[in-house]
Structure 1
């Protein structure tokens, strides 16, 4: 079943206002006031944090061992070093990093990105991970590559996928698929008949209480609050749809503390509504990232990070102005922010005081949902709202006077970027595997437009790590939108991008982003097709060629078959 995001909001209103009188959520959604620690909470973005560096140093050891095992399973003649991640996590040019990597004989640092695209992206991206995961059966020729990842990023539907993995302490996709997704997506709370049913009434009551509790705690709710809460019931195992799960609490999971998982990053875009009245993100819009240790941006004009645990705290010049706030980084609110397309309405919303859902128009519903009984809501209530931790901070002139950061889905705007590549252009990543499940075409498949936008934005920002990406016309004419392609093969100045687009190998995977219900057979079909995307439909030379692409810049001797792979897969 498909419906527009705004039609969905009408349903959200119907459910929440038709529910029984509100009660406080059992496990609590509202942000919590606490005493501030004496340690530094806000810093300039002069490299990754010491906490992230410490995690990556440990994770890299396990990832490089896993990569060595996978490479040897593909071809015994592959050579890969183990080495130490060491002190090379600071600001160094890509060429310096590559030269050092080659001299040390190190294994590459590998990241995976999962694009936006609603449930299409969640399920297809989940299948790709399932194909890469050595814990899954049956094995594919690329099983084991997931264990070799050091980083993983998600945006919008890809953030739903990453949140469902990281928020549940990194189970297999098969496990989440069977025990959560199949039932949750078939009985989707986003479907009108299900949302207003008697069976769903307890969830409606809880979500309504959550939104009101946040307002009572002194924080302005937005449509992202009920949006993220309802999504979470299909993504997180925790009580009341994972209401206690936060971005920072991921760091306490057993697989995270054992360094068994790639470091997770979720992205969103900033709006300049409060600065210059521009609602839709422009090509130079600020890219923000959420991860277990920090939230912030590398971009000029912000160039700062705050500890994720203390998001929601009022800061001035990097210092708390009073007590600290925790639990504002609630995971549902983060994944809801990353998938927030509602702010594209770009207008204040008047209210209709009636509570009869059948009589409410779209704008009336939006007003009643975010502020019941109020005369209306301002335009900014359509955004993911975060008290600005960078007020009066020296490195953040662009947002220095903003009281609140207003965030949207990274896949919207004038030059939308549906692939969360940006965080890895600011870290020394050797190989970025980009799984693109965007809907650039009428058939809901990618055509290279969104990764091209990232390249153009990187050039404008002076980021030389991003390899050259051709036009969408070239993507289509050369068939690059329907097959894996390697970008940056022959440049020591850039990362290597392994581009893996959605393609319908075994199932019609070009489902619309607006599709909000998947029956069990559809969920299983989408995930199974994602496995085939990871394994290039079972093409015989793919495991070898993928391994060759990953190791091309290592400086090590490569198997003889790699030369043919580079001719077939490298874009020059």
Structure 2
């Protein structure tokens, strides 16, 4: 989840900058010929494209996992291999940098610790909010090493806050951003603060000189590392706010939406449908385009901004002890500009307008199909800061989820298990039966589960195994406030290095074998003798 003092002031001042409309902009959605196949499908399984990618990626990942297991402990039997996913939580730049260190510690190209090589063995990778910043930066730059991103992009961009035009003036042309947003509005598309916010994020996350104005999520399907199935399939999540019911922010049971290079939609029963990401922004009715199709709406910065949008919650939620952010935003709204509530949401034309999926459960109280637009926000606002739900879908056949939790649950900005506990509780309402038991927060704290690696689901073969990796201080105090949006190059390096230690558990002796035991425990194969002690040390049993 993300928050930042003064951001709305900057967004408003940027939107209100007087500027002549650009003649053209790579950011503006454009009309295109519709594809021959249907743009909307029922959520009855994976799309043909994702299933093909999953199968091809799994074959590559299996070879990497075999190699890693052989190097880790020669006693592992590799006749049957699990499907592994990584979940990168929200938490602003804290999550981006700490999560980047976790990836670096998994990436054989970029580290030499006990876990190096497991990134190559992942089939899926989900991200939310700050984790979405990380994942879209990684994917949107064709999956370079974290070291490369740190040296060639983040180092300069993140040392100065994206909220300060004076600091970032050399990087960002604010008049151009104003032109782009105005041009999108003039082209007939509703624009909100998230357009400006997403464009600002682009200059920190994507390597193009224009901050990725024309970079779309669907364009990743043409990148070399994606076409060669060298990388896990990326999934970005957000929650839907039912503003037509007067709902300002989604509750814990809110509708979870997925953005992937191929599709956008939701498995939840009140939607239960997907559309092609490339054609987001198309006016749809009953599952068919109203006229021509739209492309270029799925700007990757806009999607990263969607996944990290907390502005509506800060402005609409009544908080007795308002934060500095809320106080300042309310003052701006009164003194500077009057905006409608919808202007704080990421807005999308509803692809499922008047569409009834064969797998949808009609709900007159939700009535999403009756809405012409969707209002999306950061999933972390509903205590679902770990994007686990997409990885529990049976069609994806995931066996093990590595959950890197960079939430700021405590007053000292450390995780305490409350986010993953909420996901467990809400999994029952979403008919997701494969989530293992997660204990109460009091147990997390009493047993120190919020400070070290823990394996959940050890004794239940019907559940996925979760390898829980919470943010912790190994070599650096990484409990940085979410509101901090400027890190010196030294701080960035320290955060990333600590993330490497999180995934390698301080390079603890035997950790590689124990992690291998967690990955392989449910394959019904004989495990190394060392696994008995590993499970005693790391498994949580009810």
TM-score, scaled relative to structure 2: 0.93
Comparing 26-35 with 250-259, greater Cα deviation is found at: 26-35
Cα drift, residue 235 of structure 1: 0.5
Cα drift, residue 35 of structure 1: 1.5
Q: Which residues of 2 match residues 484-523 of structure 1 at below 5 A?
A: 484-523=453-492
- The answer to whether the 8 Å contact 1:66/1:144 transfers is yes
In 2: Cα distance, 1:193 partner to 1:510 partner: 27
Q: Tell me the number of residue pairs that the alignment of Structure 1 and Structure 2 aligns.
A: 521
Tell me the secondary structure at the aligned position of residue 264 of structure 1: strand
- The answer to whether the 8 Å contact 1:42/1:318 transfers is yes
Structure 2 residue 118 is matched with structure 1 residue 151: no
Equivalence for 1:421 = 388
In 1: Cα distance, 2:115 partner to 2:329 partner: 54
Comparing 113-122 with 28-37, greater Cα deviation is found at: 28-37
In 1: Cα distance, 2:167 partner to 2:390 partner: 38
- The answer to whether the 8 Å contact 1:9/1:365 transfers is no
Q: 2:87 aligns with which of 93, 113, 125?
A: 113
Tell me the secondary structure at the aligned position of residue 280 of structure 1: coil
Change (3 A) 1:486 1:4: closer
Q: Please tell me the root mean square deviation across aligned C-alpha atoms, in Å.
A: 1.9
Structure 2 residue 354 is matched with structure 1 residue 392: yes
Change (3 A) 1:391 1:281: same
In 2: Cα distance, 1:117 partner to 1:538 partner: 24
Equivalence for 1:41 = 39
Structure 2 residue 4 is matched with structure 1 residue 5: yes
- The answer to whether the 8 Å contact 1:269/1:287 transfers is yes
Change (3 A) 1:366 1:235: farther
Tell me the secondary structure at the aligned position of residue 234 of structure 1: helix
Equivalence for 1:464 = 433
Cα drift, residue 188 of structure 1: 3.0
Structure 2 residue 163 is matched with structure 1 residue 190: yes
- The answer to whether the 8 Å contact 1:314/1:320 transfers is yes
In 1: Cα distance, 2:211 partner to 2:254 partner: 32
In 1: Cα distance, 2:222 partner to 2:250 partner: 34
Change (3 A) 1:12 1:378: closer
Change (3 A) 1:12 1:145: same
Tell me the secondary structure at the aligned position of residue 86 of structure 2: strand
Equivalence for 1:210 = 180
Q: 1:525 aligns with which of 483, 494, 503?
A: 494
Equivalence for 2:444 = 475
In 1: Cα distance, 2:144 partner to 2:485 partner: 24
Structure 2 residue 143 is matched with structure 1 residue 164: no
Equivalence for 1:309 = 278
In 2: Cα distance, 1:521 partner to 1:283 partner: 37
- The answer to whether the 8 Å contact 2:24/2:183 transfers is no
Q: 1:123 aligns with which of 94, 97, 103?
A: 97
Structure 2 residue 243 is matched with structure 1 residue 277: no
Change (3 A) 1:317 1:468: same
- The answer to whether the 8 Å contact 1:22/1:208 transfers is no
Tell me the secondary structure at the aligned position of residue 143 of structure 1: coil
Q: 1:259 aligns with which of 198, 217, 229?
A: 229
What do residues 75-124 of structure 1 show as CA deviations (whole Å, max 9, x unaligned)?
Answer: 1111113xxxxxxxxxxxxxxxxxxxxxxxx2100000000000000000
- The answer to whether the 8 Å contact 1:341/1:412 transfers is yes
- The answer to whether the 8 Å contact 2:25/2:180 transfers is no
What do residues 48-98 of structure 1 show as CA deviations (whole Å, max 9, x unaligned)?
Answer: 1110000011000010000000001111111113xxxxxxxxxxxxxxxxx
Structure 2 residue 400 is matched with structure 1 residue 438: no
Cα drift, residue 345 of structure 1: 4.0
In 1: Cα distance, 2:92 partner to 2:449 partner: 23
In 1: Cα distance, 2:190 partner to 2:375 partner: 12
Cα drift, residue 8 of structure 1: 1.4
In 2: Cα distance, 1:165 partner to 1:505 partner: 24
Tell me, which stretches of 5 or more residues in structure 1 are unaligned?
Answer: 82-105, 349-357, 368-375
Cα drift, residue 187 of structure 1: 2.8
In 2: Cα distance, 1:529 partner to 1:485 partner: 18
Change (3 A) 1:323 1:32: same
Change (3 A) 1:437 1:25: farther
What do residues 434-493 of structure 1 show as CA deviations (whole Å, max 9, x unaligned)?
Answer: 000000011111000000000000022332100000011100000000000000011111
Equivalence for 1:247 = 217
- The answer to whether the 8 Å contact 1:25/1:206 transfers is no
Equivalence for 2:340 = 378
In 2: Cα distance, 1:448 partner to 1:61 partner: 34
- The answer to whether the 8 Å contact 2:404/2:471 transfers is yes
Cα drift, residue 203 of structure 1: 1.4
In 1: Cα distance, 2:257 partner to 2:176 partner: 30
Change (3 A) 1:328 1:458: same
